[in-house]
Structure 1
Amino acid sequence: MSVSFLSTVSSLVPTLSACKTTVTRCPTTNLGVIRCQKIETDVSSEDGLRRRDVLKCFGATIGMELIGSSGSFVEMASAADLIQRRQRSEFQSNVKGTFLTLIKGKPDLIPSLLTLALNDVMTYDKATKSGGPNGSIRFSSEISRPENKGLSAALDLIEEAKKEIDSYSKGGPISYADLIQYAAQSALKATFLASAIRKCGGNVEKGGLLYTAYGSAGQWGLFDRQFGRTDAQEPDPEGRIPQWEKATVQEMKDKFSAIGFGPRQLAVMSAFLGPDQTATEALLATDPDVSPWVQKYQRSRETVSATDYEVDLITTLTKLSSLGQQINYEAYTYPVRKIEFSKLKL
């Protein structure tokens, strides 16, 4: 329903003539202190409506005209978007719950899950924009490569999770690409929580409270939005990933540099570079470029919040886990069943 300008003006004149506006003035003193005062001014005057009031009224009317002509479309689009976001959020929450349970039952697989996620990412080739976190590591010819030795059990857990998640998914099967990266997220959260519990002398309840109050849960926002990766349909090319346990620091630096990362990111990802983080960090500490970052993160992990370490690790994983991916933001959404009110028995 459209609204004419003249009818709007005429209907608003009585209201405008009787209303008052409140203006806040904030002069700055010589000491740099800002003091604010509210001053009430009467809109009405002998000249009737001021030009500013007419312009405001005109702007409001144009907005009303637009809403009148396209409001239903905007409302429908917004409602559909909100429904999809809620669907994705609920599904994502269930996925995390599934991984939380599985990892809690097999905590010894945490290092392998981290390396699995990294190795799926590190096939990314910056020049050709190929490879990356696309789930290609699930193929037998890729998981059996030397750099992926010992990761089969982690992949088995991914398969177990997929079977369960697909059974309750209303928006189609979940991609291996998403599964592998979200398994790494769940594994990291488990290590962060375990660290908080250790700092509380092994008290699980106090450790949980510590992580809730000072932990990094709020830093996962961007990672969570990147939900909707697409699976590769064939293995990624060979020779793109070093064997982390046998690689020199220079080889690791070169690989990270090839995808746009430096010594800082290499140091913070030490837990992903093989099963023994302590041994990996000892090796990285021998390099003058990486050593300062290794020491920084070791000190950070000893603090109550471990903020520097956890935030940098989450940031780095977030960037890595989206390399070369076009995120499908409608993934895992589904049409809502329509209710035919005419058939309802009242």
Structure 2
Amino acid sequence: MVMGFSFLSTVPSSLPLVSVSSKTTNTNAVTRCPAQVVSIHCNRVEAEAAVDHEDRFCRRDVLKCIGASVGMELIASSGVFVKTASAADLNQRRQRSEFQSKIKGTLYNAIKKNPDIVPSLLTLALNDAITYDKATKSGGPNGSIRFSSEISRPENKGLSAALNLLEEAKKEIDSYSKGGPISFADLIQFGAQSAVKSTFLAAAVRKAGGNEEKGNLLYTAYGSNGQWGLFDKQFGRSDTPEPDPEGRVPLWEKATVQEMKDKFSAIGFGPRQLAVLSAFLGPDQAATEALLAADPQVKPWVEKYQRSRETVSRTDYEVDLITTLTKLSSLGQQINYEAYSYPVQKVDLTKLKF
């Protein structure tokens, strides 16, 4: 016999119930339930009766089952099993969230004044991150591209203007930071995020016939802004003290599709990620996609994202791009989740006047 219940789903996989054997005390007595073997499996109770099919599962046994389940739920929700956030933890989260919001505002304004810088910001973030080497656990989005010896390499040609823009933004950001200066590692990846968001918003404005107000409403209603949660949590990268080794970044405008695929494969990416990051591989996205579409493995993904960008919501393209950038921007990095937080000044109650 099987009986289903909608109560707690955190019941242990096996909990025996003891029934009272049959007794008759007088002529009007009712025969009580026979002993049964009961197994409880997350929202359902299975009973294998030891007697014939006409016997029924006792109401008292059901109440025992519920009581045991509720008791275990109360134990599991006690302080022994559940880690609660301390006031300090919550305060740190609030501080980091407020600081991050200000950073995004600063970067948004800087990019809005220099919209042509967007492709370079994307490539800058890619080239800083794709130096990651799994074998040695070195490289990655660690801000190494800020060094003159690295930004001057052939693969980074033309990216100095993007780095200069971020350096100017950093001065403003550091001026209002209460938890220390922002790392270049964080700044470069959040610069890419702001650049990506600007392209999403620009696409919405175009779909709204060039009307910026309607475009903003369209992006708010159908856009992917709510998908950035995991990216925003990866906030607290450390800067490396030296440039990354040479030879880890392809010269994208001269690389073959196979060379691009090989490099992406080395960091755990495939044709799908290569296609969705087409805007990061040079200033001309259309030309890059035409090249990628010549490869039979990459072509289906290129076409998929091209179709997605023609829709109102652009969901497939935008969500996959956010997901890929999130992974790219954290390759090999140890995130310090206490970075940019600061001690709150205590109030001396003895000096307050009431």
Tell me which interval the TM-score lies in, with the shorter structure as reference length. 0.7 to 0.9
Q: Which of 213, 217, 220 lines up with 2:225 in the alignment? A: 217
1:182–1:54: structure 2 CA closer, same or farther, 3 Å change rule? closer
4+ residue runs over 2 A deviation: 50-64
Q: Which amino acid in structure 2 is aligned with residue 261 of structure 1?
A: F
CA distance in structure 2 between the partners assigned to 1:61 and 1:100 by the alignment = 48
Q: CA deviation at 1:52?
A: 7.9
Q: Following superposition of structure 1 onto structure 2, how do residues 248-259 of structure 1 map, counting pairs within 5 Å?
A: 248-259=256-267
Look up the SS of the partner of 1:288 in the other structure: coil
Look up the SS of the partner of 1:153 in the other structure: helix
Q: CA deviation at 1:179?
A: 0.2
CA distance in structure 2 between the partners assigned to 1:61 and 1:243 by the alignment = 60
Q: Cα deviations across residues 226-265 of structure 1 (Å, max 9, x unaligned)?
A: 0001111000000000110111111101100111111110
Aligned to 1:22: none
Q: Following superposition of structure 1 onto structure 2, how do residues 29-44 of structure 1 map, counting pairs within 5 Å?
A: none
Q: Which amino acid in structure 2 is aligned with residue 343 of structure 1?
A: K
1:288–1:335: structure 2 CA closer, same or farther, 3 Å change rule? same
**Which runs of 5 or more structure 1 residues have no equivalent in the other structure?**
1-25, 28-42, 44-49
Q: CA deviation at 1:301?
A: 0.4
Supply the RMSD in Å over aligned alpha carbons.
2.4
Aligned to 2:86: 78
Q: CA deviation at 1:178?
A: 0.3
| Number of corresponding residues | 293
1:133–1:62: structure 2 CA closer, same or farther, 3 Å change rule? closer
- 1:345 aligned to 2:343? no
- 1:192 aligned to 2:200? yes
Q: CA deviation at 1:53?
A: 9.8
CA distance in structure 2 between the partners assigned to 1:157 and 1:328 by the alignment = 25
**Which runs of 5 or more structure 2 residues have no equivalent in the other structure?**
1-42, 45-59
Aligned to 2:279: 271
Aligned to 2:308: 300
Q: Which amino acid in structure 2 is aligned with residue 282 of structure 1?
A: A
Q: Cα deviations across residues 273-332 of structure 1 (Å, max 9, x unaligned)?
A: 011111111111111111111111111100101110001111000000000000000000
Aligned to 1:21: none
Q: Which of 96, 116, 119 lines up with 1:111 in the alignment? A: 119
- 1:121 aligned to 2:129? yes
1:62–1:99: structure 2 CA closer, same or farther, 3 Å change rule? closer
Aligned to 1:322: 330
CA distance in structure 2 between the partners assigned to 1:51 and 1:194 by the alignment = 61
Q: CA deviation at 1:126?
A: 1.3
Q: Following superposition of structure 1 onto structure 2, how do residues 1-346 of structure 1 map, counting pairs within 5 Å?
A: 78-346=86-354
Q: Which amino acid in structure 1 is aligned with residue 101 of structure 2?
A: S
Q: CA deviation at 1:129?
A: 1.1
1:147–1:52: structure 2 CA closer, same or farther, 3 Å change rule? closer
Aligned to 1:7: none
CA distance in structure 1 between the partners assigned to 2:331 and 2:250 by the alignment = 18
Q: CA deviation at 1:79?
A: 1.0
CA distance in structure 2 between the partners assigned to 1:136 and 1:60 by the alignment = 50
Q: Cα deviations across residues 56-84 of structure 1 (Å, max 9, x unaligned)?
A: 998799899x76xx9xxx87x52111111
1:55–1:290: structure 2 CA closer, same or farther, 3 Å change rule? closer
Max Rg structure: 2
Aligned to 2:33: none
CA distance in structure 2 between the partners assigned to 1:273 and 1:327 by the alignment = 26
TM-score, normalised by the number of residues in structure 2? 0.78
Q: CA deviation at 1:343?
A: 1.9
1:181–1:53: structure 2 CA closer, same or farther, 3 Å change rule? closer
Aligned to 1:10: none
Q: CA deviation at 1:154?
A: 0.3
CA distance in structure 1 between the partners assigned to 2:190 and 2:106 by the alignment = 11
Relative to total residues, which structure has the larger helix share, 1 or 2? 1
Q: Cα deviations across residues 162-205 of structure 1 (Å, max 9, x unaligned)?
A: 11000000000100000000000000100000001001110111
